[in-house]
């Protein structure tokens, strides 16, 4: 059997390794347009912050591919797919396959703004060359503007502040930060983290045109303001890179990602797809979504590898839009459905927001905020949003399982948590908030099922 993989991202590499771990003897070849692969693009802001080096980003070396008997073909652009002949065209040559895996990733959104061009305008993409360009331009200025309020923009804002920039501004078209992950009330709390560190934020506005001069670039905003900077970072999000799949006649979903079934097969049963380029779905409500996360791509690769080896026996369950980041020492996590989105769906939503400490202050306990959302009819959790120390990522993972497995609130209330004074509180915030939600159910006159059956 000949298995050909296109893209060279996490889904390809993990999928190929999964096949080898399972003892699959097939010929496996990966084709990528990059000169190097097997690195973690989301680590680039930390390279630019001098925490990591570019070499630290790589998790597999050429010798690893050799040991695994995986053919790695770098700087090879796949021009087309011939589904009838079951070949891909590379440098004018037809490469046959029995099974094809597409992992072409995503590309940055390029806003169509007059004048927003030239060397003073930069993008941080999944390609290492983009980070190297930013690395070269950063020392040449002290004023930067970031377009967008998502994770890349936030991490780069911290990077520039720590590089002693005198002015770092973020221009956000939405009304709050991380609007895809946080409700406005939690976004407001997160806003103060950046404001207190000197980041200037403008919300509900956008750039209508730009003018580049010899010494600076001017941005003219929809609210009438003019902002001047030495350079601009455009971080307006991503779109799936599906041109190859579309040209091959594969179905593209309404979100713009490649349409796949539960086994991550495309509309062609001989072609699988995974990672940022596919249209995934929310585990709770089935809503179609693009999930541009390393964890998503990694798990897609395992599902694809197992299904190629065993036949279609392992379903992909979907995504909970799990998110985590650390900005200026504050960890922000979210998973599930936001309150605003749940209400748009017509769900009867209960929510609670509370502040607590991870443990007593004399044991170095730290403050954190948590917001829980519940469906009052199903009596299960819908979502979680948290801000605090790094520990909240572990707490968030606990809640993530509760959401995904739809554990009833009454059951969660009864589960014991790990407790010792130096470790935690006997009555932790999550249990406390669940009990508050149960209290709201009782006030509504709803019957709460306390027993397991």
Whether 147 contacts 203, CB under 8 Å: no
pLDDT, residue 452, reads 60
pLDDT, residue 449, reads 77
The residue to which tokens 């593209």 are assigned:
252
The token pair at 81 is 């797919």
CATH class of 329-443: alpha beta
pLDDT for 395-448, tens place per residue? 999 999 999 999 999 999 999 999 999 999 999 999 999 999 999 999 999 999
Give the per-residue SS3 of 138-204: HHHCCEEEEECCCHHHHHHHHHHHHCCCCEEEEEECCCCCCCCCCCHHHHHHHHHHHHCCCEEEEEC
- Model confidence pTM above 0.85: yes
- What is the chain's pLDDT, residue by residue, as a tens digit (453 residues)? 999 999 989 999 999 999 999 999 999 999 999 999 999 999 999 999 999 999 999 999 999 999 999 999 999 999 999 999 999 999 999 999 999 999 999 999 999 999 999 999 999 999 999 999 999 999 999 999 999 999 999 999 999 999 999 999 999 999 999 999 999 999 999 999 999 999 999 999 999 999 999 899 999 999 999 999 999 999 999 999 999 999 999 999 999 999 999 999 999 999 999 999 999 999 999 999 999 999 999 999 999 999 999 999 999 999 999 999 999 999 999 999 999 999 999 999 999 999 999 999 999 999 999 999 999 999 999 999 999 999 999 999 999 999 999 999 999 999 999 999 999 999 999 999 999 999 999 999 999 977 665
DSSP states along 66-124:
HHTTEEEE-S--EEEEETTTTEEEETTEEEE-SEEEE---EEE-----TT--STTEEE-
CA-to-CA distance for 102 and 376, rounded, in angstroms?
41
**3-state secondary structure (DSSP) of residue 372:** strand
- Domain spans in the chain, listed from the N-terminal domain onward: 2-42+53-107+239-310, 110-236, 329-443
Q: Do domains 2-42+53-107+239-310 and 110-236 have the same CATH topology?
A: yes
Sheet containing 288-289: order of strands? 258-259, 278-281, 288-289
CATH class of 2-42+53-107+239-310: alpha beta
CATH class of 110-236: alpha beta
pLDDT, residue 393, reads 97
CA-to-CA distance for 402 and 419, rounded, in angstroms?
19
Distance of CA 448 to the CA centre of its chain: 36
CA-to-CA distance for 399 and 333, rounded, in angstroms?
11
CA-to-CA distance for 205 and 38, rounded, in angstroms?
38
Buried/exposed 67-103: b ≥16 CB within 10 Å, e otherwise: ebebebbeebebeebeeeebbbebeeeebebebbbbb
For residue 126, what is the DSSP state?
A: S
Whether 433 contacts 355, CB under 8 Å: no
pLDDT for 32-57, tens place per residue? 999 999 999 999 999 999 999 999 99
CA-to-CA distance for 338 and 348, rounded, in angstroms?
13
């Amino acid at each position: 059997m000949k298995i050909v993989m296109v893209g060279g991202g996490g889904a390809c590499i993990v999928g190929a390794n999964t096949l080898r771990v399972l003892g699959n003897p097939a010929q496996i070849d990966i084709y990528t347009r990059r000169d190097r692969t097997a690195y973690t693009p989301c680590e680039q802001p930390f390279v630019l912050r001098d925490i990591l080096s570019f070499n630290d980003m790589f998790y597999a070396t050429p010798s690893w591919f050799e040991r695994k008997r995986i053919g790695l073909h770098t700087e090879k652009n796949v021009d087309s797919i011939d589904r009838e002949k079951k070949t891909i065209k590379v440098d004018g040559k037809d490469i046959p396959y029995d099974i094809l895996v597409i992992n072409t990733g995503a590309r940055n959104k390029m806003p169509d703004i007059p004048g927003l061009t030239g060397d003073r305008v930069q993008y941080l993409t999944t390609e290492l060359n983009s980070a190297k360009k930013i690395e070269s331009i950063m020392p040449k200025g002290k004023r930067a503007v970031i377009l967008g309020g998502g994770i890349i923009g936030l991490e780069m804002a911290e990077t520039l502040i720590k590089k002693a920039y005198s002015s770092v501004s973020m221009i956000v078209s939405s009304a709050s930060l991380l609007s895809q992950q946080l409700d406005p009330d939690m976004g407001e709390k997160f806003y103060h983290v950046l404001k207190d560190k000197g980041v200037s934020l403008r919300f509900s506005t956008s750039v209508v045109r730009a003018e580049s001069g010899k010494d600076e670039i001017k941005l003219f905003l929809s609210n009438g303001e003019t902002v001047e900077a030495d350079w601009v970072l455009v971080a307006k999000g991503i779109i799936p890179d599906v041109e190859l799949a579309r040209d091959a006649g594969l179905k593209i979903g309404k979100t713009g990602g490649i349409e796949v079934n539960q086994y991550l097969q495309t509309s062609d049963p001989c072609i699988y797809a995974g990672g940022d380029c596919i249209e995934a779905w929310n585990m709770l409500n089935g809503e179609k979504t693009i999930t541009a996360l390393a964890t998503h791509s990694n798990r897609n690769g395992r599902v694809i590898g197992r299904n190629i080896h065993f036949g279609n026996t392992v379903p992909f369950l979907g995504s909970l839009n799990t998110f985590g980041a650390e900005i200026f020492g504050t960890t922000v996590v979210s998973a599930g459905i936001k309150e605003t989105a749940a209400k748009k769906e017509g769900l009867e939503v209960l929510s609670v927001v509370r502040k607590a400490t991870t443990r007593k202050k004399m044991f170095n306990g730290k403050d954190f905020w948590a917001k829980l959302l519940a469906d009052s009819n199903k009596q299960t959790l819908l979502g979680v949003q948290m801000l605090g120390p790094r520990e909240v990522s572990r707490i968030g993972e606990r809640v993530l399982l509760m959401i995904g497995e739809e554990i009833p609130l009454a059951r969660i209330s009864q589960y014991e948590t790990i407790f010792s004074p130096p470790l935690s509180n006997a009555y932790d915030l999550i249990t406390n908030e669940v009990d508050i939600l149960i209290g709201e159910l009782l006030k509504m006159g709803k019957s709460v099922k306390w027993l397991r059956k």
